[in-house]
Amino acid sequence: MGWDMASRSELQALRAQAMARHRAATRKVSRLNRRAGVSVSGSRVDPRSTPKNIRNYNATQLRSYINKLNKFVDRSVQFVPDANRQPISSATWKKYKSLERRYNDKIADHFSRYKDIFIGPANTTVGDRMKATTPDFPHMQDRAVNAPYTPLDRSSVNIGSERALKKLITDIRRRSSGKSINKRIRNDKSQFRELMKTVSDPSLVEKIEGLTTEQFDLLWNYSGFATAVSLGYEMSKALLSDNEKPWHSGVLKDSVNSAHELADWAKSVDLGK
Whether residue 195 is contained in a domain is answered as yes
- Residue 213, in any domain of the structure: yes
In this structure, the answer to whether residues 119 and 184 fall within a common structural domain is no
> Rounded to an integer, what distance in angstroms lies between the CA atom of residue 6 and that of residue 126?
80
pTM of the model: 0.78
* The pLDDT of residue 243: 75
- Beta strands 118-119 and 124-125 are antiparallel
Residue 83 lies in a domain: no
Q: Structurally, how many domains does the chain consist of?
A: 3
Q: Is 185 in the same domain as 248?
A: yes
201: enclosing H helix or E strand: none
Reported as a pLDDT band with limits 50, 70 and 90, residue 126 is very high
Please answer whether residues 19 and 54 qualify as being in contact, where contact means their C-beta atoms are separated by less than 8 angstroms: yes
pLDDT tens digits, one per residue of 153-166: 999 999 999 999 99
* Strands 87-89 and 118-119, sheet pairing: unpaired
Burial of 254 from C-beta contacts in 10 A (0-12 / 13-18 / 19+): middle
pLDDT bracket for residue 135 (50, 70, 90): low
What domain range is 45 assigned to? 2-77
50 in a structural domain:
yes
| Torsional class of 180: left (φ above 0), alpha (ψ -120 to 50), beta (otherwise) | alpha
48 contacts 22 by C-beta, under 8 angstroms: yes
219-251 residue pLDDT tens: 999 999 999 999 999 999 988 887 777 888 899
Asked, for residue 273, whether it belongs to a domain, the answer is no
161 and 96 in a common domain: yes
Task: Tell me the backbone φ, ψ of residue 53, rounded to 5 degrees.
Answer: -65, -40
Is 110 domain-assigned?
A: yes
